[in-house]
């Protein structure tokens, strides 16, 4: 089990955020604060690399869809990248993949931001 | 961020007892205990993940609502704790989650439509619906003597 960590890189106008550890009620305020800062800077195109996440609870999922909604209101989006199979099965079963876009590769996720 | 809480785990012949501070830092170690046990009992990994999330949602509610830090509830004069009692029968896992915080009005709770809530992109209010979706039984009881107890049951389906 890893401690929750957030790292950020830029891909042009798109922000790639790498998450590590567990996104639960304890850790989600850190992601919330990070995303709020980006939005205040007018950066609404976000990719979250989830490959190093070991758990996501509903508090974390709530943050993701809340920020995806805000991003779309500003012609951006928040998309998930490389979601581990164990987590993907859960979020698909609950229905979160109906509103959150999930990609397996960075290239396909990046390309999706270019589409009208 | 402070490190994960130290939780106390004791075993009797038939039960596992967990005591943890009523704080968010307890959630991950509690999940670890639950997933280890669910695997030992023989649940497949997909079911282990569901049990993990249901218990996490229950304990999150205790931390967030029963022991809500912003309010001056009577429990602040005690040590807020989450206590879990877990046992297995021949074909089921029974997890009881106990707290002495604010009582939840379970009787007045109106079930939410999970998918409608997700499609509306609501940022919260999923916990109980997830517990009900992932567990076979969800029961809540509360009294002034024993405090609040949420009982989650998952049946081990034999193929």
Q: What is the CATH number of the domain that holds B145?
A: 3.30.565.10
Averaged pLDDT of chain A? 96
Minimum distance, in Å, between the CA of residue A87 and any CA atom of chain B: 8
CB-CB neighbours of B74 under 10 Å: 9
Check residue B78 and give its pLDDT. Answer: 62
- Whole domain around residue B26: which residue ranges? 8-155
In a domain? residue B68: yes
Summarised one tens digit per residue, pLDDT across range A69-113 is 999 999 999 999 999 999 999 999 999 999 999 999 999 999 999
Mark B121-132 as b/e (b = at least 16 C-beta within 10 Å): bebeebbbbbbb
Ordered alpha helix ranges (H), chain A: 28-40, 58-73, 85-94, 106-114
Q: What is the mean pLDDT of residues A33-39?
A: 98
In a domain? residue B3: no
Report residue A115's pLDDT band, with 50, 70 and 90 as the boundaries: low
Check residue B139 and give its pLDDT. Answer: 95
B31 vs A55: CB contact, 8 Å cut-off?
A: yes
A99 vs B1: CB contact, 8 Å cut-off?
A: no
Report residue B6's pLDDT band, with 50, 70 and 90 as the boundaries: confident
Q: What is the mean pLDDT of residues A18-30?
A: 96
A62 vs B123: CB contact, 8 Å cut-off?
A: yes
Q: Is A30 on the interface with B (CB under 8 A)?
A: yes
In a domain? residue B86: yes
- The answer to whether residues B90 and B14 touch, using CB atoms and an 8 Å cutoff, is no
* CA-closest candidate to residue B3, choices A54, A4, A29: A4
Summarised one tens digit per residue, pLDDT across range B42-70 is 999 999 999 999 999 999 999 988 887 66
In a domain? residue B2: no
Inter-chain CB pairs, A–B, below 8 Å: 80
**Whole-number Cα distances in Å, A52 to A67, A72, A81, A86, B73:** 20, 26, 11, 12, 38
Q: Which of B52, B60, B119 sits opposite A59 (nearest CB)?
A: B60
B115 vs A90: CB contact, 8 Å cut-off?
A: no
Q: How many CA atoms lie within 13 A of B54 on its CB side?
A: 29
Q: Which of B31, B52, B126 sits opposite A62 (nearest CB)?
A: B126
* CA-closest candidate to residue A36, choices A4, A2, A78: A78
Chain A: residue nearest B1 by CA? A27
A69 vs B121: CB contact, 8 Å cut-off?
A: yes
Distance (Å, rounded) from C-alpha A90 to C-alpha A71? Answer: 24
Q: Which of A23-37, A42-56, B89-103 has the lowest mean pLDDT?
A: B89-103
By a Cβ cutoff of 8 Å, what residues of chain B touch chain A?
Answer: 1, 24-25, 27-28, 31-32, 45-46, 49-50, 52-53, 56-57, 60, 63-64, 114-115, 118-119, 121-124, 126-127, 130, 133
B1 vs A27: CB contact, 8 Å cut-off?
A: yes
In a domain? residue B15: yes
Check residue B102 and give its pLDDT. Answer: 85
Minimum distance, in Å, between the CA of residue B118 and any CA atom of chain A: 6
Residue B1 has pLDDT above 50, yes or no: no
Q: How many domains does chain B have?
A: 1
What are chain A's domains? 5-97 (3.30.750.24)
Report residue B73's pLDDT band, with 50, 70 and 90 as the boundaries: low
Summarised one tens digit per residue, pLDDT across range B96-151 is 999 988 888 877 888 889 999 999 999 899 999 999 999 999 999 998 888 999 99
Distance (Å, rounded) from C-alpha B51 to C-alpha B153? Answer: 9
Ordered alpha helix ranges (H), B42-106: 45-61
- CB < 8 Å to B45, chain A: 86
């Amino acid at each position: 089990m890893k401690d929750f960590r957030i790292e950020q890189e830029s891909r042009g106008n798109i922000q790639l955020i790498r998450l590590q550890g567990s996104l639960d009620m304890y850790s989600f305020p850190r992601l919330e604060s990070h995303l709020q800062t980006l939005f205040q800077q007018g950066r609404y195109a976000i990719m979250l690399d989830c490959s190093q996440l070991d758990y996501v609870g509903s508090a974390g999922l709530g943050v993701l869809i809340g920020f995806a909604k805000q991003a779309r209101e500003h012609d951006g989006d928040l998309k998930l990248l490389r979601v581990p199979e164990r987590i993907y099965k859960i979020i698909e079963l609950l229905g979160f993949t109906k509103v959150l876009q999930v990609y397996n590769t960075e290239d396909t996720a990046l390309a999706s931001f270019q589409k009208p | 961020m402070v490190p994960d809480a130290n939780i106390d785990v004791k075993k009797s012949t038939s039960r596992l007892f967990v005591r943890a501070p009523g704080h968010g830092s307890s959630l991950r170690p509690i999940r670890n205990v639950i997933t280890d046990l669910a695997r030992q009992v023989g649940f497949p990994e997909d079911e282990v993940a569901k049990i993990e999330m249901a218990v996490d949602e229950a304990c999150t509610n205790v931390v967030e609502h029963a022991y809500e830090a912003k309010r001056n509830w009577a429990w602040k004069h005690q040590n807020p704790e989450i206590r879990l009692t877990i046992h297995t029968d021949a074909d089921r896992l029974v997890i009881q989650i106990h707290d002495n915080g604010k009582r939840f009005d379970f009787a007045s709770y109106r079930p939410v439509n999970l998918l409608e809530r997700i499609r509306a992109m609501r940022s919260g209010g999923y916990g109980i619906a997830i517990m009900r979706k992932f567990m076979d039984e969800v029961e809540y009881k509360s009294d002034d003597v024993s405090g609040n107890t949420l009982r989650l049951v998952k049946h081990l389906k034999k193929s």
